[in-house]
A and B are shown apart, each in its own frame.
Chain A
C-alpha cells in the first residue's frame, strides 16, 4: 500500500515563530488532507489539497503531486497551534492512509 512519511516527528518552537511540516508519499494520490489533532483528541480538518496551494489565515499548504510531497506552513505560531499534525492520503482505495504525524509544541 501507499506509504506516508512525515517530518519532523517533533518540533518545539517559541510563540511567534514560523514552521514548515513535510509529508512525503510513495505513489500518486487522489486525495490529500492535513489534520490537526488537538489535546482532546479531535481531528480538525485543515486542508483538502491533492494538488496546488491553499491558504487559510496563518496556515497554508502546498502539494506538488508530481514530486509526491506536501508542505504545511504555520506562520506566527500561537500556543493553541500545539498538537499533532497529520497528513493523510488516498491513492485509489477508499480509506485514508495517515502518516505518523508531527508533534508540535509552541511555548509561550
Chain B
C-alpha cells in the first residue's frame, strides 16, 4: 500500500540554523500539507499546498517557514532560523482529493 515517507526521522540542530524537512507524498496525490505537534500537545496545521502554490497557511506559518515542491516527488518544509520553540514533531500529509489525508511517520526536530 502506498505511503507517505519523511526524512530524516530525527533532526537535531542548533538555534539559528536552517533546517529542511523532506517528504515524499503518495505518488498520485495532488494536495500536500505540513503539521506540527509540540510534545504532549495536539497536532496543529501549518500549511497546505496545491498546484505548486500555498493554498492556505495558519498563524504559526510565519516568514521563518517556507515550502517547496522542487521536483515531481518531494515536498519540503524549510525553517530559516530555528528557535527553541520550533522543537516538535513535524508531519507531512497528502491527499488525492483534498478530503482524506494520509500522514507520514513524522520528523522529530530538536533545537538546542
- Residues on the B chain within 8 Å of A97, using CB: 45
Given contacts A94-B48, A94-B98, contact A43 B42 (CB under 8 A): no
Counting chain B CB atoms within 10 Å of each CB, the highest count among A31, A48, A86, A95 belongs to A95
User: Which of B14-22, B65-73, B100-108 binds A?
Assistant: B100-108
CB distance from B105 to the nearest CB of A (A): 5
Q: Are B44 and A33 in contact (CB under 8 A)?
A: no
Binary flags per residue of B76-112, CB closer than 8 Å to A gives 1, else 0:
0000000000000101000000111111011010000
- Residue of A with least CB distance to B89: A41
User: How many chain B residues touch A (Cβ–Cβ < 8 Å)?
Assistant: 27
* Contact residues, A54-103 vs B (CB, 8 A): 86, 88, 90, 93-101
Is B52's CB within 8 Å of the partner chain A? no
Q: Are A43 and B56 in contact (CB under 8 A)?
A: no
For the complex of A and B, 10 pairs with smallest distance between CB atoms: A95-B45, A94-B48, A48-B100, A94-B56, A98-B43, A43-B103, A98-B42, A42-B105, A100-B42, A31-B99
A-B contact pairs, 30 of them (CB 8 A): A30-B99, A31-B99, A31-B101, A33-B100, A41-B105, A41-B106, A41-B108, A42-B105, A42-B106, A43-B43, A43-B91, A86-B42, A86-B43, A93-B56, A94-B33, A94-B48, A94-B55, A94-B98, A95-B35, A95-B45, A95-B46, A95-B47, A95-B58, A96-B35, A96-B43, A96-B45, A98-B42, A98-B44, A100-B42, A101-B42
Q: Which residues of A are in contact with B by a Cβ distance under 8 Å?
A: 30-31, 33, 35, 40-43, 45, 48, 50, 86, 88, 90, 93-101
